[in-house]
Structure 1
Amino acid sequence: MAHKGVVAVILSAAFLFTFSQFLLITAYPTIMEEYGVNATQVQWLTTAFLLTTIVLIPMSGYLSNRFSTKALVVFALGCLAAGTVLGGLSAQFGTLVLSRVIQAVGAGIILPLVQTILLTVFPYERRGFAMGLLGAVINVAPASAPSISGMIIDVFDWRSLHWVILPLIIITLVAAVFTMKDVIKKQAAGLDVLSIIVSALGFSLLILGMSNISVYGFTHLLVAGPIVAGALALVVFVRRQINLDMPVLNLMLLKNSTFRLAMILVFLNMMLLLSAETILPMFAQDVLGTTAFLSGFILVPGTILLSVITIISGNLYDRYGGKKISLIGFSFTLLSLVLLNTVGMDSSPYWVMFHFCFFMIGFGLTLMPLVTVSMDALDDEDIPHGSALVNTVRQFGMTFGIIVLSTIISVTATTMDAPYEVGTYWGTSLAFLVMALIALLALVLTRFINEKRA
């Protein structure tokens, strides 16, 4: 292939960004103790990252038409390097959150860009393979990061996580300077600043209000006020995108029924992924009493399976399409969540590891086939905006899922008249039940996919 160097650099960058996004999850208990923050506050290390990417990703269509591919990749990796250094030096919790925001600026550029680049350089009949390759790279990072960071934390401190990954970031940055080429065709583009401001306010207020539920309850003004204001701002954003000649986020693509259904399924799928990968290590430490290393290690076999299954699913997509594969995938996901509900407080953590393998098989058979279904439903000129929509939905799905499900655990643990471990166990069990219902809904909706394949 003519663009092997470009593909290698952009996939390496995508891996580093997704790996960095999940690198600190295993360190949350230690960070909470050092900075004196609670479970809701420490989640802002994840939420701030996701929120920043949600704001940046809709701009990707404009950015890819306004600047060269090389300039965007180099700038994004520069942000990742700067944020990583700041995180390693942070003496205050606010500084650590700021380091995550700086990293996320780069992630908001890279995540939709890598998808657009791969769909551009690979021929149509190999798109399933291309998306499977991307999935193997970016899906393995969220699950491998907690286990690797757990090993490092058990030997060193959590700040060393930044210094371990920094050399890899610098190597990729240097490679991008000498290897990247401009492979995306330019189109007319405009940037509506008001749309960016309104979307940033909408998502920020909505997520802030939802995050406050575990602290203030459902009816408090600091919960209802931000949620209502955020929802209204997002309504304004949607109406503005529909009326603009050159929208920041082309929501008219959602008129395509296949694309729209695929987006709903991607949203549900991402709700489940980040929730499982965040809940399970914390459940292992807080309820089953494992070490930081073992709590992360329980994700490793599933990670290995995911990397293999994602590539296989890409090749299966090129042969059979996405509907059949996704039906099988969501069946595995549902099975895994039912099995996780059978884990007791005295169960071995290796049962969690075993059940999580079924979850990752299901995820490997669903996400990238669904993404490819959505892209195949669009015309080629709509792919950059389609990629922006896909990645906005993915990031918001992760943010929404982890806030809702961690709130379920937190509220249950604090309202039960029982020890913390017991309350956390029942809260986690309730979260798994909700996740199983979400997987069942996704399985039913998948039956309505109407693929149009060449």
Structure 2
Amino acid sequence: MSTQIQVENPKTMASILMLGAFIGLFGETALNMALTNVMDDFSIKAAIAQWLTTGYLLVLAILVPISALLMRWFTTRQLVIGGLVISLMGAILAALSPSFSILLVGRLVQAIGTGLLLPVMMNVLLLIFPVHKRGVVMGIMGLVITLGPALGPTLSGVIISSLGWNYIFWISAIFYVLLTLFAVAKIANVSDITKPAIDVLSILLSTIGFGGLIFALSTMAEEAFSSPKVWAPLLVGVIALILFGVRQMTTTQPMVNLRVFKFPMFTLGTLIMFLNILVVLSTAILLPLYLKGALLFSAAVAGLLMLPGNAINVIMAPIVGSLFDKLGPRPFVLMGSVFVLIGNIMFMSTISATTPSWQIVVAFIALFFGISMVMMPSQTNALNQLPRELYADGSAAMNTLNQVAGAAGTAIAITLFTAGQSNFLIDSPNAAQPEVLAAGVKYAFYFITGISVVTLIASLFVRKSVDVKENVKSTVKTAEPVRN
């Protein structure tokens, strides 16, 4: 039995939260298409430039676990408006950046705002809509989660070619201003403010754990695994995460209630989400590099070549959402995982410096046709198994792992991309740069294809968490009035 919280404008609230999250997630990959421009402007290498994406995701991975605690200390309005204002400040700082360091700081500040908005969005949507409508609502939210980072390179390619990369941030800033004004007027408070004790040790362990892990993976693009710069933070990060997990399971007021993983379909759904986010973010950073550096397309054309795949995602997400309530998750997750694997096999087998662009477009369409059928059903089915009191914890745990997946995917993709180029140069030292770059991207897709195989195997075990019909009759609770 679930509890729906009655608010005056649930669709308006959902729209504000989704648009805010979309702009933030768009920011995850928007600079991917501009990496070569940024590298030229600030005279830096790809391994340094990728921190604009990896650093953004790293902040999200560190902040999101704390979100379950923040949602019990601050009202919904405070978190949403605060997240939008912080995002606005970061976007303006990045737009005005005179150096790479300032640009990176602006990105990290923007990530703090997104880190506040994402878990709040998921938690609020679970509370203000009844169970029997969650399929459609979560379908749209799944579209936001995948379309934001996927559409980033497409839209930014057009912006970069016509205006310049810093306008990516100016346009985002305009949206943040408008959303903040709407949030002040329309966001209602739906969270339960209990103000639990702040566990400083858990926060430190979480920050060190996720920070060390992602830093180590990112550093592997420049350093060998035997380097202390890689294995030392990796070891510290793993130890910190183990201690963090032990503390969450033993303390009476955990920062993130890891007991949500006692629910098997939640655990499986979160794993499938993790693997698919890893695939999406890896692809989102590799394809722009490939299309611009190997096939020599302009940023605008490279972005437009990725548009059909994103269009498929837009079309499919609401369809899958509406059918989910009738058919459940299994047929979608299984079939979608097959298409994700097919798309990645196509990338792995066709990428070269002379590949016809239509083959890349078809592979990208197959990939996102599958992604659109996997993401929302996995996420919704996972969260449906949790009781209401664990929604915030489930959202925090799932979002944390999603951001870790994104950061890890980006870092691993660049690391393998760099390794692939080095290996190719050993055999072909006189190869042209487009051939070298294509070889690096193809090498990285061997790993991404392997991840797709694991996802397909996991999808075989998906089962429906709840009988939606039994949960249609839900208790309705009224949210407190909006306070301006």
TM value normalised by structure 2: 0.91
Q: Report what 1:347 is aligned to.
A: 355
Q: Report what 2:402 is aligned to.
A: 394
Amino acid at match of 1:422: E
- Whole-angstrom CA distance in 1 between matches of 2:117 and 2:444: 32
Structure 1 runs (4+) greater than 6 angstroms displaced? none
Tell me how far 1:162 sits from its aligned partner. Answer: 1.6
Q: Please tell me whether the aligned partners of residues 65 and 206 of structure 2 are also in contact (alpha carbons under 8 angstroms).
A: no
- Whole-angstrom CA distance in 2 between matches of 1:411 and 1:373: 38
Q: Please tell me whether the aligned partners of residues 55 and 200 of structure 1 are also in contact (alpha carbons under 8 angstroms).
A: yes
Gaps of 5+ in 2: 1-7, 468-484
- Counterpart secondary structure, 2:190: coil
Tell me how far 1:427 sits from its aligned partner. Answer: 2.3
Q: Please tell me whether the aligned partners of residues 9 and 186 of structure 2 are also in contact (alpha carbons under 8 angstroms).
A: no
Tell me how far 1:86 sits from its aligned partner. Answer: 0.3
Tell me which of 184, 195, 205 is aligned to 1:177. 184
Amino acid at match of 1:428: V
Out of 295-304 and 77-86, give the one that drifted further: 295-304
Q: Report what 1:298 is aligned to.
A: 305
Kindly report which structure 2 residues correspond to 1:12-411, keeping only aligned pairs within 5 A, or say none: 12-187=19-194, 189-340=196-347, 341-411=349-419
- Whole-angstrom CA distance in 1 between matches of 2:11 and 2:138: 15
Could you say if the C-alpha distance between residues 308 and 190 of structure 1 is closer, same or farther in structure 2, counting changes exceeding 3 Å?
farther
Could you say if the C-alpha distance between residues 187 and 365 of structure 1 is closer, same or farther in structure 2, counting changes exceeding 3 Å?
farther
Q: Please tell me whether the aligned partners of residues 135 and 311 of structure 1 are also in contact (alpha carbons under 8 angstroms).
A: no
Q: Report what 1:5 is aligned to.
A: 12
Q: Deviations over 1:180-202 (max 9, x none)?
A: 11023445633212111111111
Tell me how far 1:137 sits from its aligned partner. Answer: 2.7
Amino acid at match of 1:113: V
Q: Deviations over 1:411-444 (max 9, x none)?
A: 1212332333323222222222221221111111
Tell me how far 1:156 sits from its aligned partner. Answer: 2.2
- Whole-angstrom CA distance in 2 between matches of 1:388 and 1:398: 15
Q: Please tell me whether the aligned partners of residues 151 and 292 of structure 1 are also in contact (alpha carbons under 8 angstroms).
A: yes
Could you say if the C-alpha distance between residues 190 and 316 of structure 1 is closer, same or farther in structure 2, counting changes exceeding 3 Å?
farther
Q: Report what 2:477 is aligned to.
A: none
Amino acid at match of 2:458: L
How many residue pairs are counted as aligned between the two chains? Answer: 454
Tell me how far 1:271 sits from its aligned partner. Answer: 0.8
Q: Please tell me whether the aligned partners of residues 352 and 435 of structure 2 are also in contact (alpha carbons under 8 angstroms).
A: no
Q: Report what 1:447 is aligned to.
A: 460
- Whole-angstrom CA distance in 2 between matches of 1:103 and 1:2: 27
Out of 216-225 and 94-103, give the one that drifted further: 216-225
- Whole-angstrom CA distance in 2 between matches of 1:38 and 1:130: 41
Could you say if the C-alpha distance between residues 4 and 399 of structure 1 is closer, same or farther in structure 2, counting changes exceeding 3 Å?
same
TM value normalised by structure 1: 0.97
Q: Report what 2:423 is aligned to.
A: 415
- Counterpart secondary structure, 2:350: coil
- Whole-angstrom CA distance in 2 between matches of 1:147 and 1:133: 20
Q: Please tell me whether the aligned partners of residues 136 and 308 of structure 1 are also in contact (alpha carbons under 8 angstroms).
A: no
Matched, 1:431 2:438: no
Q: Please tell me whether the aligned partners of residues 350 and 359 of structure 2 are also in contact (alpha carbons under 8 angstroms).
A: no
- Whole-angstrom CA distance in 1 between matches of 2:323 and 2:289: 35
Amino acid at match of 1:179: K
Q: Please tell me whether the aligned partners of residues 314 and 369 of structure 1 are also in contact (alpha carbons under 8 angstroms).
A: yes
Tell me how far 1:218 sits from its aligned partner. Answer: 1.8
- Whole-angstrom CA distance in 2 between matches of 1:325 and 1:85: 41
- Whole-angstrom CA distance in 2 between matches of 1:71 and 1:119: 19
Amino acid at match of 1:413: Q
- Counterpart secondary structure, 2:296: coil
- Whole-angstrom CA distance in 2 between matches of 1:356 and 1:53: 26
- Whole-angstrom CA distance in 1 between matches of 2:271 and 2:147: 23
Tell me how far 1:138 sits from its aligned partner. Answer: 3.2
Q: Which has the higher contact order (CA 8 A, sep 6+)?
A: 2
Aligned-pair Cα RMSD in Å: 1.5
Tell me how far 1:2 sits from its aligned partner. Answer: 4.3
Q: Deviations over 1:224-268 (max 9, x none)?
A: 111111111111111111111111111111122221111211111
Identical counterparts, % of pairs: 28
- Whole-angstrom CA distance in 1 between matches of 2:223 and 2:299: 30
Q: Please tell me whether the aligned partners of residues 18 and 141 of structure 1 are also in contact (alpha carbons under 8 angstroms).
A: yes
Tell me how far 1:20 sits from its aligned partner. Answer: 2.2
Tell me how far 1:307 sits from its aligned partner. Answer: 1.3
Gaps of 5+ in 1: none
Amino acid at match of 2:280: L
- Whole-angstrom CA distance in 2 between matches of 1:144 and 1:442: 23
Q: Report what 2:480 is aligned to.
A: none
- Whole-angstrom CA distance in 1 between matches of 2:193 and 2:170: 37
Could you say if the C-alpha distance between residues 92 and 2 of structure 1 is closer, same or farther in structure 2, counting changes exceeding 3 Å?
closer
Q: Deviations over 1:274-305 (max 9, x none)?
A: 11111111111111111111122221111111
Tell me how far 1:134 sits from its aligned partner. Answer: 0.9
- Whole-angstrom CA distance in 1 between matches of 2:371 and 2:359: 19
Q: Please tell me whether the aligned partners of residues 140 and 304 of structure 1 are also in contact (alpha carbons under 8 angstroms).
A: no
